[in-house]
């Protein structure tokens, strides 16, 4: 992850939810009910969110979101039924009808890997979920410059 990744990675994750359960044997903290989790400029919304701590240094190893998952970051938005956020690697793996929107463009497939610190997503298809992308070419103005 780039420098911004290092900054984002060290920022705390601010979470709001209805309830919380921690399980120290399994090193998890489970937030349930209208969950919103924000880290830097990215926010994950879901029905349930599980924080997994690493055994070695008790740091956040991964964050798993379940149910009505929505990731919002600037003008990018991702939707899925399930998502796995690897905090250190700076990527979110989305599955269960994943879609990623950027402005009016949208991509979908079986699994989408969304890179938090780069304007990049990798879409893979499989089975009945082929890769699909809808890209809107920029409108060309009279002088040939692209209109925003």
Which residues make up the interface to another protein (CB under 8 A)?
9-25, 29, 31, 39, 51, 53, 57-60, 87
Nearer to another protein, 32 or 129 (CB): 32
CB of 56 to another protein, least distance (A): 9
CB of 65 to another protein, least distance (A): 14
Nearest-angstrom CA–CA distance, 137 and 134: 10
The Cβ of residue 135 has, within 10 Å, a number of other Cβ atoms equal to 10
Nearer to another protein, 23 or 105 (CB): 23
Nearer to another protein, 9 or 108 (CB): 9
Query: Which three-class secondary structure string do you get for 78-147?
Result: EEEEEEEEECCCCEEEEECCCEEEECCEEEECCEEEEECCCCEEEEECECCECCEEECCCCCECCCCCEC
In the Cβ-directed half-sphere of 132, how many Cα atoms lie within 13 Å? 12
Among 8, 4, 58, 57, which residue's Cα sits nearest to residue 37? 8
Nearer to another protein, 5 or 109 (CB): 5
CB of 70 to another protein, least distance (A): 19
CB of 96 to another protein, least distance (A): 24
CB of 79 to another protein, least distance (A): 23
Nearer to another protein, 15 or 106 (CB): 15
């Amino acid at each position: 992850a780039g420098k911004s990744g290092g900054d984002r990675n060290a920022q705390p994750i601010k979470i709001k939810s209805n309830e919380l359960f921690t399980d120290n044997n399994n090193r998890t903290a489970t937030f349930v009910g209208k969950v919103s989790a924000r880290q830097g400029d990215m926010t994950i919304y879901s029905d349930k969110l599980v924080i997994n701590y690493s055994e070695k240094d008790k740091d956040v190893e991964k964050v798993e979101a379940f149910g009505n998952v929505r990731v919002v970051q600037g003008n990018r938005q991702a939707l899925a039924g399930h998502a796995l956020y690897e905090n250190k690697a700076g990527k979110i793996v989305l599955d269960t009808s994943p879609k990623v929107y950027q402005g009016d463009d949208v991509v979908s497939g079986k699994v989408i890997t969304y890179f938090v610190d780069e304007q990049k997503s990798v879409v893979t298809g499989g089975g009945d979920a082929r890769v699909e992308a809808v890209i809107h070419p920029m409108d060309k103005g009279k002088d040939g410059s692209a209109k925003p």
